[in-house]
Amino acid sequence: MRKFLHSFNRPAAQMPGYGWWGFVILASLILGALPSFLGLAPLFDLSVVLVLALLALSMSFLWGYLGFLSFGQTAFFGTGGYVYAVAAMNMGSTTLPFVLGITLPMVLAAVIGYFMIYGKLSDIYFSVMTLVITLIMNKAMRATSGSQYVVGDVRLNGQNGIPGVPALQVPWNTDVTLFIDQVYYLAAALVVLVYIGLRLLLTTPYGRVLIGIRENEQRIELLGYDSRLYKLLAFILAGGLAGLSGTMFAVWGNFVGPEMFGLGQAAEIIIWVIVGGKATLIGPIVGVGLIQYLTTWLGMQGVGQVTLVLGVILIVFVLVFKDGLVPTLGNLILRLAGKEPSRSDTKDTQP
């Protein structure tokens, strides 16, 4: 048992052990089997959790392993959704719009990130600037209600959003579109692949440099690395993941609206990551599931101040569970197994 826990709880810079791979395989099998036991309504709710988990992973990677708190993930999330919606409704097909929904947010991240990172903004000003960009995009999209705001044949509709976004077509057979269970399988596969990809990326020299930048950027630069380039590439990658999440959100709900750029959405991402644990990749995924379930349950109970409740939860986790839920539970299990957590066990562990 101790060997298994040691293998599972390796630092992020080390290659995953057999315990981690066993966990990934087991989780994948469970995700694949769930549709057989769930109706369409629960499957629909679970699908959006997986879609938003991609957004949480983009923040977890950027904030937890590079030290960048970016409110811009919401901007890239909304951009991905809108690009897919507008392109798909104009083109009549969805394969190229799906690709554009990922690549254009990456281009936007490259442009924004270049000026902020190469301009050597401090971490706090970086966060403030990404927040300002998100607010500007939210305000701009809400101001497009006039009939003159048309892209091709698609009217943007301002705060009413764009309904009737086309369902995703099978690339090799455009006559077939994905139903809710197939959207679920696609979202689940993307979450697993992104999770594995980011975990393995952290074991590469590039990933080790990113962690080194977070710990001591000046030392990394003295070793001869261009920290600005590494940070820009990470920001672009995180922007692409947020765009992928936004694209999948448009596919899932057949609707996009300016709420995707909203400050509330930006705050929720931070809550997901803090609750789950930003020093892990699996933590924010768990955080998404818990917060989404709690939000839905509170709404069903008629609680009108859901945002207030989420704020209280955030305060509790910041003050009591500083490392997040997943790392805290992991350390508890280690202690029960007779292994005292080391510094590497409490920071940047592989889940």
Q: Which amino acid is at 267?
A: A
Q: Are 105 and 249 in contact (CB under 8 A)?
A: no
SS3 letters for 93-117? CCHHHHHHHHHHHHHHHHHHHHHHH
In the prediction, which pLDDT does 215 show?
87
Mean pLDDT of the chain: 86
What distance lies between CA 274 and its chain's CA centroid? 13
In the prediction, which pLDDT does 4 show?
46
pLDDT level of residue 28 (50, 70, 90 thresholds): very high
Q: Are 248 and 188 in contact (CB under 8 A)?
A: no
Mean pLDDT of 283-287: 90
Mean pLDDT of 237-244: 96
Q: How far apart are CA 245 and CA 31, in angstroms?
A: 18
The string of pLDDT tens digits covering residues 141-177 is 999 988 888 998 899 988 899 999 999 998 888 788 8
SS3 letters for the chain? CHHHHHHHCCECCCCCCHHHHHHHHHHHHHHHHHHHCCCHHHHHHHHHHHHHHHHHHHHHHHHHHHCCCCCCHHHHHHHHHHHHHHHHHHHCCCHHHHHHHHHHHHHHHHHHHHHHHCCCCCHHHHHHHHHHHHHHHHHHHHCCCCCCCEECCEECCHHHCEECCCCCEECCEEEEECCHHHHHHHHHHHHHHHHHHHHHHCCCHHHHHHHHHHHHHHHHHHCCCCHHHHHHHHHHHHHHHHHHHHHHHHHHHCEECHHHHCHHHHHHHHHHHHHHCCCCCHHHHHHHHHHHHHHHHHHHCCCCCHHHHHHHHHHHHHHCCCCCHHHHHHHHHHHHCCCCCCHHHHCCECC
Give the Cα-Cα-Cα angle 162, 159, 299 (nearest 5 degrees). 95
Give 141's contacts (C-beta < 8 A, 6+ positions apart). 78, 82, 156, 158, 159, 258, 261
Q: How far apart are CA 12 and CA 89, in angstroms?
A: 42
Mean pLDDT of 253-272: 89
Residue 350 has pLDDT above 70, yes or no: no
In the prediction, which pLDDT does 318 show?
74
Query: Residue length, the chain?
Result: 351
Mean pLDDT of 24-42: 90
pLDDT level of residue 1 (50, 70, 90 thresholds): very low
Residue 242 has pLDDT above 70, yes or no: yes
Q: How far apart are CA 153 and CA 129, in angstroms?
A: 33
Higher per-residue confidence, 247 vs 1: 247
The string of pLDDT tens digits covering residues 84-133 is 999 999 998 899 999 999 999 999 999 999 999 998 888 888 888 999 99
Q: Per residue in 40-79, is it b (16+ CB within 10 Å) or e — as a string?
A: eeebbebbbbbbbbbbbbbbbbbbbbbbbbbbbbbbbbbb
* Nearest of 74, 19, 93 to residue 263 by alpha carbon: 74
pLDDT level of residue 341 (50, 70, 90 thresholds): low
Region of poorest pLDDT, from 249-253, 324-328, 346-350: 346-350
In the prediction, which pLDDT does 268 show?
87
Residue 276 burial (C-beta neighbours within 10 Å; 0-12, 13-18, 19+): buried
Residue 179 burial (C-beta neighbours within 10 Å; 0-12, 13-18, 19+): exposed
In the prediction, which pLDDT does 345 show?
43
In the prediction, which pLDDT does 5 show?
47
